[in-house]
Amino acid sequence: MENDSRNNDLSRVLGPERRQRRHLIDILQDIQAEQGYLSRQAMLEVSKFLDIPGSSVWGVATFYNQFRFTPPGRKPVKVCLGTACHLAGGQLVLEATARELAIEIGGTTGDMEFSLERVACIGCCALAPVLTIGGEVHPRMTPPRVEEAFVNIKAAAPGAPGTESLP
């Protein structure tokens, strides 16, 4: 599992030049970039490093939309619900994706392959509605095209667990 190989050593992120409160958010951003999410342990380590209460770290981390507290799937799925996407039927795309993956918004599939998020605007308004799967943009989606996209991805991954491994 990729999860296990994720770097748990924070020494690279917690360099002495960053031992200031003003670096709290970029430290958290870097940890999330490396580990995919903010674990309780990582946040406690940051609190010790900056000498601020753990509750402050938690308070800041939960305030901002960027941070997540559970491990994401290997291929994060993000459905855009910015204004243009919403008006073009983004909500239906989101529902179709949740149905396709059989998970809730914010959840991860049992095999850790996909996680599902709604995002504010990824700046592809001319291609609305869009979703991204593992960073790849899929333009002008409709519920049937969502199904198609996942069928293609699952078919393209050799030896990948099929739909039956999804909860």
Which one of 2-10, 35-43, 80-88, 102-110 is the stretch in contact with other proteins (CB under 8 A)?
80-88
Residue 146 or residue 153: which is nearer to other proteins going by CB? Answer: 146
152 binds other proteins (CB under 8 A): no
What's the residue count for the chain?
167
DSSP output for 90-158: HHHHHHHHHHHHT--TT-B-TTSSEEEEEES--S-GGG-S-EEETTEEE-S--HHHHHHHHHHHHHHST
Rule CB under 8 A: choose which of 74, 75, 86, 154 binds other proteins.
86
User: Which one among 13, 31, 79, 96 touches other proteins, defined by CB under 8 A?
Assistant: 96
Please identify, among the stretches 4-12, 20-28, 102-110, 157-165, the one whose residues bind other proteins according to the rule CB under 8 A.
Answer: 20-28
Q: Is 53 in a helix, a strand, or coil?
A: coil
